[in-house]
Amino acid sequence: MFTVYGDRKSGNCLKVAWVAAHLGIALDWRELDILKGETRTPDFLALNPDGRVPTLVLEDGRSLAESNAIIGYLARDSALIPADAFAQAKIRQWLFWEQYSHEPYIAVRRFQLLYLGRSEAELEPKLFERGHAALALMEGALAERPFLVGSHLSLADVALVAYTRLAHEGGFDLVPYPALRAWIARVEAGLGIAG
């Protein structure tokens, strides 16, 4: 059984839980509260010197950090990663894009409003602008197909639905994005998670 250190407030941690559940992989989930500094203890820093969750620990004691690396490891040889090399590359493209062009705006804005209690006026305006740019890009891609990479649920969808489905908590109205909203419902249904 794998051990995962995570905080269920984090979409990055939820990705790991959803992939494992979808694939029937048992996890020993160790809940840590990032707001209480529980990822900064000497024991945790020995597992992940970066002090961030999620962190996966294999049965042999090796650890793996970064949500997209973890879900890629868990989903290897599964239907969440198609056999076609180009489709695999497209998934990786979306995974990199999620971490650099989506999560830093959608998730960060949500975290600052919801968990740090900041007001809209205190937030950097570019978070809102770039967050909407990310949502618009996804809307365009999903207007052409039911999932981000082709016609079936993939790791790209899991990675991007985590914070997209909670974008409203960061002040992003999803009403102008009908294809995106329909995709969220499809991915939630495919993963068996509540909307």
pLDDT digits (tens, 9 = 90+) for 2-21: 999 999 999 999 999 999 99
Q: How wide is the angle at C-alpha 136 spanned by C-alphas 134 and 138, nearest 5°? A: 70
The predicted structure's pLDDT at residue 178 = 98
Q: How wide is the angle at C-alpha 73 spanned by C-alphas 180 and 57, nearest 5°? A: 115
Q: Which CATH class is domain 2-74?
A: alpha beta
- By three-state DSSP, how is residue 95 classified? helix
The predicted structure's pLDDT at residue 194 = 81
Distance CA 144, CA 167 (A): 22
- By three-state DSSP, how is residue 57 classified? strand
Dig out the tokens for 11 from the structure: 């979409």
pTM of the model: 0.94
Pick the CATH number of 85-191 from 3.90.1150.10, 1.20.1050.10, 1.10.530.10, 2.60.120.10: 1.20.1050.10
| pLDDT tens track for 152-187 | 999 999 999 999 999 999 999 999 999 999 999 999
Residue with tokens 């993963």: 191
